[in-house]
Chain A
């Protein structure tokens, strides 16, 4: 049973819609991550939060807006997306962000399709 849950599992939206992806971790971790997984490309790290503070923002377009209200929850707000944003969006957590040896625990992802 995974300690990281994501909702919804599938999402289809038009380019003018606004939607949000939700992630929750039940592991007591301090760091949470958003990744984008596109076909035949390495996982792309989008955002990192450590103790609810954003510590990484890897040149992600402003149409993606993260929110971390507490250390257990992470959101990704989406608006005016483009078809090339269609991908699997994965959430992960780890014990601490500032320890390179930590393994990350992943959720099942949200499969996003932008029409």
Chain B
């Protein structure tokens, strides 16, 4: 079974619209870490955020916000007032403390296209 599910394969929005990217994870570990990465057309994955399983506070960074809900095993990412530069593939990932290793389990990604 896949540990991280990103059900939205592709999303298109018009510039200035808000958009939410969904991420659902699965783990039996009590201590784990969730990540979001952005992959622009240039190819490299850019780290956006890390949350640990004990910190359910939502986080806001400029136009980006993240909603972590352990009750639904979700870690959703919202972009407010989207811009063309937000067009990219976004990956959610999970790392489990019990493995004792920095092994990231990635979802299949969501391709976001922001139309001018």
Contact = CB atoms under 8 A, between A and B. Distances in A.
Binding partners A and B:
yes
Interface of A: 2, 4, 9, 31, 40-43, 45, 48, 55-56, 88, 90, 92, 94, 96-109, 111
B64 interface: no
Interface string B44-87: 11110010100000000000000000000000000000000000
Interface of B: 2, 4, 9, 31-33, 35, 37, 42-47, 50, 52, 91, 95-97, 99-109
B102 A100 contact: yes
A94 to B, nearest CB: 5
Given A45-B104, A101-B50, A88 B44 contact: no
A30 to B, nearest CB: 10
Contacts, number: 73
Contacts of B32: 100
Given A4-B44, A108-B44, A102 B102 contact: yes
B10 to A, nearest CB: 11
27 contacts: A2-B44, A42-B4, A42-B105, A45-B103, A48-B103, A56-B101, A90-B44, A97-B101, A98-B100, A98-B101, A98-B102, A99-B102, A100-B31, A100-B96, A100-B97, A100-B99, A100-B102, A103-B35, A103-B47, A103-B50, A104-B45, A104-B47, A106-B37, A107-B44, A108-B42, A109-B43, A111-B43
A61 B44 CA distance: 24
Contact of B102 (A4, A43, A97): A97
A42 B44 contact: no
Contacts of A43: 91, 104, 106
